[in-house]
Chain A
Amino acid sequence: MRRSTGLLLVSVIGVSATACGSSEAPSSSAPNSVTITVACQPAKSAPKERQAWDADVAEFMKAHPGVTVKSTDQQPCFDPKTFGPKLAGGQMETVFVVPVTNYNDVIAQGQALDVTPYTSTIKNWNDLRPDVRELVTKDGKVYGVPNVHYSVGLVYNRALFTKAGLDPDTPPKTWAEVREAAKKITALGPGFVGYGEYSGGNTGGWHFTQAIYGRGGAILTPDNKKAAFNSPEGKAVLQNLHDMRWTDNSMGSKLLVGWESLMMAMGSGKVGMMLGAPDVVTDVVNKFKGNVADYGITGFPEAKASLSGGEAYMINPKATPEQAKAGMAWIDFRFNTVGKGRFDFARGKAIGNPVGVPDNDVYGDSATGKALQAERVKNASLPVTNYEPYVQAAVTVPPKAEPVHAQELYAILDVVMSGVLSRKDASIDELLADAETKANTMLAAKG
């Protein structure tokens, strides 16, 4: 127990000591030269990816005399626990990544630079999807460069489908079909789970949001003043989960808390389906040792809207104009140029990266988007046909942004999800009503 005291002390020190830390941005050494630090260098445990990154840095510096790029390899690139203290302590990189779930917080708290004057540095800026650019725009000012965007789909294990007598080429299109498929997969034997879902660590609330958006519902009223999830759509989401968990017994008996828990289960090859974006396939294969040929992704069942996923690169608010400009040039080179950096699919294939997952429609069907898609397919190392149902379905589903105060709402909605998945006698009406009251109190307090 004394160890938790220590941990708390460290947390307090982290919060408080850094609050008065240095306010210096990464410095530039001479008027004509500028040094920037950039986040997300691959870890040493991924030597090929790291080598590719270092080659990109060298190429960039050669093309931009006077700019020195220093990389940091903290993993994960974005960690909400260290984000604020790093910024305050002068440890934040000039260029850093932010997932879409945190855009609102980071922008609202002034933790990203207004890069509106520098957007012309991004040569394909106008090809970026307008709705995705909107996510990093507040009051007409731009605070980041989106470089990944995707919508939700249904990730499924094709091998389990085959084993359960289901056709992996005709995955479920409706929730009723999902339920039937889940039952068959569970019937394969002990340990097999038809459908996996989160219930804690804010991931339960996050997936509830995905599911209710899919059914056409909302988390908040349009003016963001009141909760709107106590609705027929919200009830349908929970009723479906409750029935799968307790009537069909097709969801396993373990509550899944935190992102890794479901990913690990999916990687084990014993979970049939889950809601997720295409990057789930990449992560399950890369980080959780899933067999790449086993996984496919199809459209979000009965979807009327999809929670947006993705990430954007942003600039340290303490950066000098020269650093901001150099940082934007780096973002353009490494993350937004067809055939370079992240989008050098030929190199990715050569070093053994999984290429072919349609995990990024940040450029939509613009000229850049089409060029990217062509490159991806040309260099695919994965069975792209496994992802075709998703590609076809995703374009028909409009994206929808996260609600304001997302993390607070997710914490409240975790209770609803864990209630339904842990208690057979859970009253959905009571759970939703209770969560609604809590959410409204929270929203009123936040103003």
Chain B
Amino acid sequence: MRRNLTAYGFLCAALFCFTVFAWYPMVREFILSFQKTDLINPPTWVGLDNFKAAVQDPAFGEAWLNTVEFTVLALLCGYAVPFVVALVLNELRHARAYLRFVVYLPVMLPPIVAVLLFQWFYDPGPGLFNQILGFFHLPPLAWLDSSSTALISLVLVSTWMNMGSATLIYLAALQNIPPELYEAAELDGAGILKRVRHVTIPQTRLILLLMLMLQIVATMQVFIEPYMLTGGGPENATVSVAYLMYQFAFSQMNYGQAGALGMLLMLALLLFAAIQLRATREDRA
């Protein structure tokens, strides 16, 4: 017992943090989603009214569609690109540390700074991206100011801000692959694509699956990009579930409705995580 005292101490600290900052808010949010409250007077129980109101909100359907679309696009960019970058970094013999630093640099920028940077990049007038297009005699794009390009523009910001962490995780996984596997594959005449397919991907499968789940869970909660760059527009093209939740709570002061929407999002993510875990387990068995 005494020998494990330090371990119990760390465990208690972790349990305390989880209880206060994760589990208790979840329980409170669950309760809140069935209540009408002004945060002053005692709350009243309203059954499923908050859920009904959230579902009936004019932006509810658009928010879910946008969120799913954002998640799919973010996966295409944010899942594949860091893996490819990690592969390239892993193959490099020179300047690897420097390039690793460069790739990770955006993660070290405060998100607000990164988003404001892109606000300037996307500016239809003097913005960097349109300047580049102009340099190649291409017509300017509306980027954030058109409902057809706004969402993908947010995906680019998100990918740029977050790919550093994913790349480093993939790189760590790649560096754990025993080199003799590659040597054997090379002796068998496998080219780079075959080595990736038959050695790298199977060896990093667990990390890839874990990152897939983490990225979906994270991207489904996209908030800061629409909040800072588009305000959900134009024409609700970038309103996300998390942004709508924010609108309910802090613009309309409808905390119960925000809680209900939060519960729906949590349920959707739990469902996805359960399916994914089950599939992984079956796959392993």
Interface residues of A (CB under 8 A from B): 1-5, 7-9, 11-13, 15-20, 80-81, 83-85, 87-88, 105, 109-111, 190-191, 199-202, 204, 252-255, 257-258, 317-318, 405, 407-408, 411-412, 414-415, 418-419, 421-423, 438-439, 441-442, 445
8 smallest CB-CB distances across A and B, nearest first, come from A16-B28, A201-B231, A200-B231, A88-B39, A438-B58, A418-B234, A1-B218, A109-B38
Contact present for A84 and B251 (CB under 8 Å): no
A407 and B231 contacting across the interface, CB-CB below 8 Å: no
Known A-B contacts A8-B242, A9-B22, A13-B21; the reply to A414 vs B233 at CB < 8 A is yes
Inter-chain contact count A-B, CB under 8 Å?
A: 177
User: Can you offer 7 A-B residue contacts whose CB atoms are under 8 A?
Assistant: A4-B111, A8-B221, A12-B26, A12-B28, A15-B32, A17-B24, A19-B28
- The answer for the CA separation of A418 and B146 in the assembled complex, in Å, is 9
On chain A, the residues within 8 Å of B221 by CB distance are 1, 4-5, 8
A418 to B237, CA, bound (A): 10
Name which residue of chain A comes closest to B122, CB basis. Answer: A254
A15 to B33 CA separation, bound complex (whole angstroms): 11
Residue of B nearest to A80 (CB): B250
Interface residues of B in 33-76 (CB under 8 A from A): 37-41, 43, 52-53, 56-59, 74
Answer whether residue B153 sits at the interface, using C-beta atoms and an 8 A cutoff.
Answer: no
CA distance A407 to B219 in the complex (A): 27
CA gap between A3 and B247 in the complex, in Å: 19
Find out whether the CB atom of B234 lies under 8 angstroms from the CB atom of A255: yes
Complex contacts, A204 vs chain B, CB 8 Å = 233
A87-B251 contact given A4-B224, A7-B223, A253-B142, CB 8 Å threshold = no
**Chief secondary structure at chain B's binding surface:** helix
CB of A12 within 8 A of CB of B29, answer: yes
Is B188 located at the chain interface by the 8 A CB criterion? no
A412 close to B58 (CB less than 8 A): yes
- Of A12, A88, A411, the residue contacting B59 (CB under 8 A) is A411
Distance (Å) between the CB of A269 and the closest chain B CB?
Answer: 15
Q: How far is the CB of B68 from chain A (nearest CB, A)?
A: 15
Whether the Cβ atoms of B222 and A199 lie closer than 8 Å is: no
**Does residue B87 face the partner (Cβ distance < 8 Å to A)?**
no
A20 and B28 contact, CB distance less than 8 A: yes
Known A3-B111, A442-B58; contact A15-B233, beta-carbon cutoff 8 A: no
- CB nearest neighbor in B for A414: B233
Residue B230 lies at the interface, judged by CB distance under 8 Å to chain A: yes
| Contact partners of B58 in chain A: CB under 8 A | 412, 438-439, 441-442
* One of B6-14, B196-204, B253-261 contacting the partner: B253-261
**Assembly CA distance A101 to B230 (angstroms):** 22
Closest to B30 in A: A16
Q: Are A422 and B147 in contact (CB under 8 A)?
A: yes
User: Would A415 and B56 be within 8 Å (CB), given that A15-B258, A190-B125 are in contact?
Assistant: no
Closest A residue, CB atoms, query B240 = A4
Q: A1-B78, A418-B235 are in contact. List 17 more A-B contacts (CB 8 A).
A: A5-B217, A11-B245, A13-B25, A16-B24, A17-B28, A19-B37, A20-B28, A80-B251, A109-B38, A109-B40, A191-B126, A253-B145, A255-B230, A414-B233, A422-B145, A441-B58, A442-B56
B231 touches A257 (CB 8 A): yes
- Contact indicator per residue, chain B 210-229, by CB within 8 Å of chain A (1) or not (0): 00000101110111110001
A contact residues around B229 at 8 Å (CB): 257
In angstroms, Cα B219 to Cα A201, docked, is 21
| A445-B253 contact given A254-B123, A254-B125, A414-B233, CB 8 Å threshold | no
**Are A4 and B249 also in contact (CB < 8 A) when A254-B124, A257-B230 are?**
no
Contact of A15 among B123, B162, B255 (CB under 8 A): B255
Contact of B142 among A1, A111, A422 (CB under 8 A): A422
Query: Chain A residue with minimal CB distance to B218?
Result: A1
Contact A255 B32 (CB under 8 A): no
**Which chain B residues border A257 with CB–CB below 8 Å?**
229-231, 233
Docked CA distance A130–B43 (Å): 34
Residue of A nearest to B41 (CB): A110
Q: Are B39 and A191 in contact (CB under 8 A)?
A: no
Distance of A222 Cα from B42 Cα, bound (Å): 32
Given A255-B233, A317-B40, the answer on whether A422 and B21 have CB atoms closer than 8 Å is no
Q: Determine the distance from Cα of A81 to Cα of B200 in the docked complex, in whole angstroms.
A: 47
Most A-side CB within 10 Å, residue of B43, B145, B219: B145
The residue that A84 contacts in the complex, of B224, B232, B255, with Cβ under 8 A, is: B255
- Is B252's beta carbon under 8 Å from chain A? yes
The CA of A258 and the CA of B227, in the complex, are separated in Å by 10
- In the complex with contacts A255-B234, A418-B234, A11-B249 CB distance below 8 A: yes
A244 to B111 CA separation, bound complex (whole angstroms): 36
Known contacts A254-B124, A257-B231, A441-B56; decide if A88 and B40 are in contact (CB<8 Å): yes
Contacts of B21 in A (CB 8 A): 9, 13
Decide: A258 and B242 in contact? CB cutoff 8 A: no
The docked-state distance in angstroms from the alpha carbon of A17 to that of B235 is: 34
| Residues of A contacting B78 in the complex (Cβ-Cβ under 8 angstroms) | 1
Pick from B25, B111, B145, B217: contact of A255, CB below 8 A.
B145
Q: How far is the CA of A270 from the CA of B236 in the complex (A)?
A: 28
B236 touches A415 (CB 8 A): yes
Task: Please indicate which of the listed interface residues A4, A201, A407 has the most CB atoms of chain B within 10 Å of its own CB.
Answer: A4
* CB-based nearest B residue for A405: B252
Query: How distant is A382 from chain B, measured CB to nearest CB, in Å?
Result: 31
Closest Cβ of chain A: how far from B278's Cβ, in Å?
Answer: 23
Q: Are the CB atoms of B235 and A11 closer together than 8 Å?
A: no
Contact in complex: A407, B144 (CB < 8 Å): no
| Shortest distance from the beta carbon of A211 to any chain B beta carbon, whole Å | 18
Closest Cβ of chain A to B159, distance in Å, is 9
Residue of B41, B74, B78, B250 most packed against chain A (CB within 10 A): B250
Asked whether, in the complex, the Cβ of B253 is within 8 Å of the Cβ of A109, the reply is yes
- B234 smallest CB distance to A (angstroms): 4
Residues on B with C-beta less than 8 A from A441 are 56, 58
Q: How far is the CA of A355 from the CA of B38 in the complex (A)?
A: 39
When distances are taken between beta carbons in the complex, the residues of chain A under 8 Å from B39 are 18-19, 84-85, 87-88, 111
Contacting residues, chain B, for A422 (C-beta < 8 A):
142, 145-147, 233-235
Contact of A199 among B38, B225, B234 (CB under 8 A): B234
Q: In angstroms, how far is the closest chain B Cβ from the Cβ of A244?
A: 16
